Amino acid sequence: MSILLDQINYPADLRKLKQNQLKQVSDELREELVNVVSETGGHLGAGLGVVELTVAIHYVFNTPKDKLVWDVGHQCYPHKLITGRKNSIRTLRKGGGLSGFTKRAESEYDPFGAAHSSTSISSTLGMAVANKLSNSNNNVVAVIGDGAMSAGMAYEAMNNAGALRSKLIVILNDNEMSIAKPVGAMSKYLARLLSGKMYFSFRETIKMIISSFSKRFAEKTAKAEDLIKGLVSGGTLFSELGFYYIGPIDGHDVNNLVQVLENVKNSKHEGPVLIHAITQKGKGYKPAEKSGDKYHGVSKFNIITGEQVQSKSNTLSYTKIFAETLVKHAEKDTKIIGITGAMSGGTGMDIFEKRFPDRMFDVGIAEQHAVTFAAGLATEGYKPFAAIYSTFLQRAYDQVVHDVAIQSLPVRFAIDRAGLVGADGPTHAGSFDVTYLSTLPNFIVMAASDEAELVKMINTAVRINDRPCAFRYPRGNGIGIELPNINEILEIGKGKIVRKGKQAAILCFGARLEECKKAAEILSSKGIELTLVDARFAKPLDEKLIMEVATMHEAVITIEEGSIGGFGSHVSQLLSERGVFDKGLKFRSMVLPDLFLDQDTPETMYKKAGLDSLSIVSKIENVLKSNIILAKNKNKHLN
């Protein structure tokens, strides 16, 4: 029963409570979080780990005037519960409901959308500088997870923040890396001491004394301060970057958190501050605490047992098929290396790691490094497979261009989560990889229409040794067909005809092929026979097959799970250059719409995108109808 939480709709309500009530609020908030996610699914462990931090921050700071940015946004469920969204929280990650991440359009308490990691320090530094330029005294707080701190962007921002001496508070939520461990009561005391007015003042006084005396004395005095800080350890790196370091502190002691945050808020210290809080992912819910991934991302589950409701499917996921196929190749080829960026489970590379621990590298949330690291391996004759979600590979595009493509290095990109991904929404959709990769010289870009094609593409990638390649595949399960052996490869740049017809042709690139087959059956029942092509390659195109199809049909339609500028654009360019449009060919390109689609079921999202079977039918009927109308008008003109 939530006695206190029921009274809290906004942080202003929380701030009316006495400090000794905050532990009860935290307990009630944690219980409600478990109840909510058991019904909606989503990210649970991260939120459980920041309950006390959430309560303490909103209690001490005057949000939303004081800005609070969560990094990554999947920590934000407790934050949403006490910032005006409690009554709609069970719409989380559903169509028309709340986003699973922070989102500016959703609430004034979300000053920055964060669904990709390591952006909080850069964004809050921008806010802090804006405050200074506008003579505002509002506080700016970033909460960044230890995993997010593995990305170079976080350190670029910290380096800049230290140089600018901006008023910025960064809270490092350390729940896994164990940069340092708390040491009981002494740690609490020293954290309060280091964050208190006396020590801030003492430190500035020491600096003034140092500047007035000899270098030798200065060195000794600095060492004395380092000795004090060394008792709580971990702060050297952050101090060197220009941050005033406080910690480590217990991130689940809400009263101590409040005192430390109050000290920092009220200090006259100029420059950025980093508070190092130790938390436990999954805190307070036993099944999550015992789980290896601390219930990072879960489906609906039974609260008592922790058992998750698994979708029933008789087919394997594309992710698992990729991993198991790669393992088969690696058993025969010692040059094959696995690489991922903090997503070994999500990409299936944990399967590869169990079999080949010495040949698997999880580099953390550092996609830029992952790509160039793979390029370095490729220069020495190894066969790196970089398994990265489409949306995360965007973060490393410069490295893909300069370090891989220009040098024509045979890095193999396994692009998971291609296309629309459902509940994670637009920030995690794989919408742009076909466009941003197929523009690059020296690249081979493939898309699997089913799991058997995925296996063939992996087989093919193993044998490509003169240039980079990428193969994309969707989230979810395959269609349930027999898999080929690992020796069956594709001819580079060659598609295949799946079905032959006369009036119109579909060139399908990727996993919309099954919807195309459904559309073909519907049109066949109406007397319209289609040719259906599984294009396989966006680069290089199968120019011979495309020209044959274009010259034998009234209309050609390309279909892909990607944005404008991808496969369809390249086909259009080819047909234009060959003068096919001058001969009356009708051409349409079906791509994702020019907007970011909010979270929903994948089926609903594809329907909204106009890439389901009925939309395909409608498109083809309209194209052929326009041909009939054009022909009639031409005959009238001739008569």
Cα–Cα distances in angstroms (integers) from residue 496 to residues 269, 430, 456, 472, 499, in the given order: 67, 24, 13, 18, 9
What are the CA-CA distances from residue 355 to residues 182, 329, 351, 359, 505 (Å)? 36, 12, 7, 9, 44
Q: How far apart (Å, rounded) are the C-alpha atoms in residues 101 and 70?
A: 9
Q: What Rg do the C-alpha atoms of the chain give, in angstroms?
A: 28
β-strand partners of 504: 530, 555
Cβ atoms of 478 and 449 within 8 Å: the answer is no
- CA pair distance 166, 555, nearest whole angstrom: 60
367 is catalytic: yes
- CA-nearest of 476, 429, 478, 470 to 453 is 478
Q: Name 412's bridge partners.
A: 385, 469
CA proximity to 475, closest of 293, 313, 307: 313
Q: Catalytic pick from 28, 32, 353, 367?
A: 367
Identify whether 281 is a catalytic site residue: yes
First to last CA, the chain: 83
Q: Which residues pair with 545 in a beta bridge?
A: none
Two structure tokens written together for 527: 């007397």
Please give the Cα distance from 287 to 295 (Å, whole number).
8
Token pair recorded at residue 565: 């500028």
Q: Measured between alpha carbons, how far is residue 208 from residues 201, 221, 392 in Å? A: 11, 11, 47
Catalytic residue among 167, 281, 417, 619: 281
Among 296, 279, 300, residue whose Cα is nearest residue 288: 296
User: Choosing from 67, 283, 395, 412, which is the catalytic residue?
Assistant: 395
451 is catalytic: no
What's the CA angle centered on 172, arms 169 and 176, to 5 degrees? 175
Cβ 479 vs Cβ 316: under 8 Å = no
Residues classed as catalytic: 281, 367, 395
